[in-house]
């Protein structure tokens, strides 16, 4: 049974992908420190979260069946500190939270610590719309904002957004049965801060001081600018009905968005419309007051939850068409280069297959040919045999050897 579990439940767009990738690629180093991040594959905790919450996710939910119980079992079997981390856990309801905590050993001798990483709404609102777009969504930014501001929160967009972003509600659900000293709120530093500061805060929250982790990672969730996001949205509208989810992720989300368009860092950034600044600021200040009153352990500064005033506003629903066209050319070039590389690899594999087939045929034909030659020699040694051969050859004029 684990003595301690560090349970990280989000929120999205707070450095979670980087943290998870570092933990996944350092199992030996973590083990030396008595820490286990149980994962046989990089998305193991994501699948476990899908399973726990019974969430549909482009067909992956069928692959996820049993994943939470497997993860919880691996946690309980570890004698030390175990880490569980995925941001969609933020949306778990109270029944799912109770099941999760109990399965991890809460109430049975295991000290469960909750970690929630948070970022200001000025950045989170446009980031969530962009994530929707990178997951095949076609709705406009204006429509997204309208659903987010709907006080009923009955629509899919509003329900999901506040489920994973309303920090006091997340803490209500996940921390209700935990003492405040076992609840850690990690704040994302403001824009312009030292890039390594957030990682240092994670190190403090997860007690990784002195653990020499390799911080090299090839997984991240980079942001896109205004014209790039507008382009992906247009691709979704044109291609969704023709491109199944299994192909969308590697081609659009990974190749086009993450590996190509995210490199265009000089384009206008997504932001919050100026008219929403006061509404957002009031929400942020109310959250800070609630968190401060509850006495949780804060890693960072709660004032980081107050976002900067919106700067120059570029409406992603009416982007500069020349910038969108430039982004489209970059995306098309990337697809062409990838297609050529795939073609070359296909030709190489086809050549290897032909060589293998020829070798197998040669290996098979040698004993067969030797057998045929032996039969011919036997038949030629007798008159009846010679007659049989003549009849056979008359029926197969193209074969004079047998």
Give the predicted TM-score (pTM) of the model.
0.84
Residue 260 is assigned to a structural domain of this protein = no
State the total domains in the chain: 1
269 within some domain = no
CATH number, domain of 117, equals: 3.40.50
- Does residue 9 form part of some domain? yes
Kindly report the number of other CB atoms within 10 A of residue 155's CB atom.
14
Q: What is the pLDDT of residue 344?
A: 95
Residue 261, in any domain of the structure: no
Q: How high is the pLDDT of residue 124?
A: 97
| Within-domain flag for 142 | no
333 is a domain residue: no
Structural domain boundaries, residue 16:
4-122+157-223+276-306
CA 332 to CA 150: how far, in whole Å? 38
34 inside domain: yes
pLDDT value, residue 400: 47
Residue 29 lies in a domain: yes
What does the pLDDT profile of the chain (402 residues) look like in tens digits?
A: 779 999 999 999 999 999 999 999 999 999 999 999 999 999 999 999 999 999 988 888 899 999 999 999 999 999 999 999 999 999 999 999 999 999 999 999 999 999 999 999 999 999 999 999 999 999 999 999 999 999 999 899 999 999 999 999 999 999 999 999 999 999 999 999 999 999 999 999 999 999 999 999 876 678 999 999 999 999 999 999 999 988 999 999 999 999 999 999 999 999 999 999 999 999 999 999 999 999 999 999 999 999 998 888 999 999 999 999 999 999 999 999 999 999 999 999 899 888 888 887 777 667 777 777 777 777 777 777 777 767 777 776 555 445
Q: How far is CA 102 from CA 43, 75, 111, 362, in A?
A: 22, 12, 11, 62
SS3 82: strand
DSSP per residue, 94-127? HHHHHHHHHHTTBTTTBEEEEEEEE--HHHHHHH
pLDDT at 58: 80
**In this predicted structure, what is the pLDDT of residue 390?**
77
């Amino acid at each position: 049974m684990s003595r301690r579990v560090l349970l990280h439940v989000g929120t999205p767009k707070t450095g979670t992908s980087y943290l998870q990738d570092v933990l996944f690629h350092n199992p030996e180093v973590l083990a030396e420190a008595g820490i286990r991040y149980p994962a046989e594959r990089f998305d193991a905790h994501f699948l476990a979260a899908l399973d726990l919450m019974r969430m549909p996710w482009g067909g992956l939910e069928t692959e996820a069946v049993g994943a939470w119980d497997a993860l919880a079992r691996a946690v309980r079997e570890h004698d030390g500190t175990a880490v569980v981390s995925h941001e969609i856990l933020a949306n778990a309801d109270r029944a799912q939270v109770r099941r999760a905590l109990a399965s991890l050993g809460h109430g049975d001798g295991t000290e469960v610590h909750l970690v929630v990483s948070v970022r200001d709404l000025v950045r989170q609102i446009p980031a969530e719309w962009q994530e929707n777009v990178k997951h095949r969504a076609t709705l406009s930014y204006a429509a997204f904002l309208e659903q987010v501001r709907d006080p009923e929160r009955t629509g899919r967009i509003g329900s999901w957004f506040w489920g994973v972003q309303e920090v006091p509600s997340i803490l209500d659900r996940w921390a209700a049965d935990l003492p405040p000293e076992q609840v850690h709120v990690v704040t994302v530093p403001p824009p312009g801060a030292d890039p390594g500061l957030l990682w240092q805060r994670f190190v403090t929250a997860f007690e990784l001081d002195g653990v020499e982790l390799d911080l090299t990672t090839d997984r991240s969730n980079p942001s896109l600018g205004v014209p790039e996001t507008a382009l992906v949205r247009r691709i979704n509208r044109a291609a969704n009905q023709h491109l199944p989810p299994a192909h969308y992720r590697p081609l659009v989300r990974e190749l086009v968005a993450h590996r190509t368009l995210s490199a265009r860092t000089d384009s206008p950034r997504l932001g919050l419309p100026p008219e929403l600044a006061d509404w957002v600021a009031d929400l942020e200040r109310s959250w800070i007051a609630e968190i401060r009153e509850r006495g949780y352990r804060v890693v960072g500064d709660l004032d980081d939850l107050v976002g900067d005033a919106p700067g120059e506003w570029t409406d992603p629903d009416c982007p500069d068409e020349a910038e969108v066209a430039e982004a489209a050319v970059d995306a098309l070039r990337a697809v062409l280069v990838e297609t050529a590389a795939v073609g070359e690899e296909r030709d190489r594999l086809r050549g290897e297959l032909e060589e293998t087939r020829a070798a197998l045929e040669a290996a098979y034909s040698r004993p067969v040919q030797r057998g045929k030659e032996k039969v011919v020699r036997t038949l030629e040694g007798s008159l009846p045999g010679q007659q049989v051969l003549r009849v056979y050859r008359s029926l197969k004029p193209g074969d004079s050897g047998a």
